[in-house]
């Protein structure tokens, strides 16, 4: 977490939502709403905040329900949680903004863009899962799809799976591990803290991914960049193409040799390209 991040709490329909802002202040030349992966704390990562300060960007990140102090929203859809991103923008008096989401945050960034209309300058989704098709092929190429497959059977099945699940290091490539040991260490650290402190956020995310998202991605009017590693073992690159089929404004940007984490090595360049 960035040391200079400001933490906010606000109410959405009587439920507490936690958001942070870092980087430049309210007079910044651009605003970026960030949606973190599964799990996450909601706090801005120090490298992201440093980049935002250097580029005069106001960075706002939001903890999804069940993560980082944001109150759970039982039975939430992707669209339900995405609404918190827009609520944070409203609470912080932000009119126009760009959106970015990583992994489990990707669907929420896309859903927020679909609802926000011309308030959105652009969207970048890194390693994002696609809307669930209801077909077994949706899971193809995943190193270990057990969590999402159990979520398809319902919340209780996903909780039962989580009681005995062990971390499988094989889901990450050598490039992923090198990134986590190097310039992307903050990503792994935040995921570790988020997983240790979550209140069923991971289960709720997984169930939301494999049930109707509650939004039509063809409503997105802003440019969409789908950045995906072609060696991703967690969410295979074919998911970027599945999203693009549903989202006419989307362009797929495959990253050769990158896995699920390594795709973020160029995150700053990808965000800057979207902001131009």
What pLDDT, on a 0 to 100 scale, did the predictor assign at position 276? 81
**What CATH superfamily classification does 6-275 receive?**
Alpha/Beta hydrolase fold, catalytic domain (3.40.50.1820)
pLDDT at 1: 57
CB-CB contact of 44 with 59 (8 Å)? yes
The pLDDT assigned to 270 comes to: 97
The string of pLDDT tens digits covering residues 175-213 is 999 999 999 999 999 999 999 999 999 999 999 999 999
What is the pTM (predicted TM-score) of this model? 0.97
Q: What 3-state DSSP class applies to 13?
A: coil
Say if residues 12 and 83 touch (Cβ distance below 8 Å).
yes
- Tokens in use for 223? 């440019």
Task: Show the low-confidence residues of the chain (pLDDT under 70).
Answer: 1-3
pLDDT at 2: 62
Separation in Å, CA 9 to CA 38, 68, 251, 259, 276: 21, 11, 35, 34, 31
Residue ranges covered by each domain of the chain: 6-275
Strands (E) located in 118-257: 120-126, 224-229, 250-255
What are the structure tokens assigned to 276, written together?
A: 């131009």
Cβ pair 38, 206 in contact under 8 A? yes
Euclidean distance between the first and the last CA atom of the chain, given in angstroms as a whole number:
27
| Closest by CA position to 103, among listed 67, 128, 139 | 128
């Amino acid at each position: 977490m960035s040391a200079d991040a400001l933490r906010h709490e606000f109410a959405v329909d009587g439920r507490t939502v936690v958001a942070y802002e870092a980087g430049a202040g309210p007079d910044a030349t651009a605003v970026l709403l960030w949606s973190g992966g599964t799990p996450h704390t909601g706090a801005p990562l120090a490298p992201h905040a440093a980049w935002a300060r250097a580029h005069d960007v106001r960075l706002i990140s939001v903890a999804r329900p069940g993560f980082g102090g944001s109150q759970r929203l039982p039975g939430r859809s992707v669209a339900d949680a995405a609404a918190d991103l827009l609520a944070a923008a409203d609470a912080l008096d932000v009119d126009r903004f760009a959106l970015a989401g990583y992994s489990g945050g990707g669907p929420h960034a896309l859903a927020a863009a679909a609802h926000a209309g011309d308030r959105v300058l652009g969207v970048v989704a890194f390693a994002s899962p696609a809307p669930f098709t209801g077909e077994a092929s949706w899971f193809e190429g995943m190193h270990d799809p057990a969590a999402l497959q159990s979520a398809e059977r319902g919340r209780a099945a996903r909780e039962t799976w989580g009681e005995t699940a062990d971390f499988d290091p094989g889901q990450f490539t050598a490039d992923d591990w090198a990134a986590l040991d190097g310039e992307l260490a903050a990503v792994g650290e935040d995921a570790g803290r988020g997983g240790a402190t979550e209140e069923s956020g991971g289960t709720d995310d997984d169930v939301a991914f494999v049930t109707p998202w509650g939004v039509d991605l063809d409503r997105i009017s802003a440019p969409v960049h789908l950045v995906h590693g072609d060696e991703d073992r967690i969410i295979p690159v074919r998911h970027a193409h599945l999203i693009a089929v549903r989202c006419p404004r989307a362009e797929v940007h495959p990253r050769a040799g990158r896995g699920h984490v390594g795709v973020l090595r160029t995150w700053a360049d990808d965000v800057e390209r979207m902001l131009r």
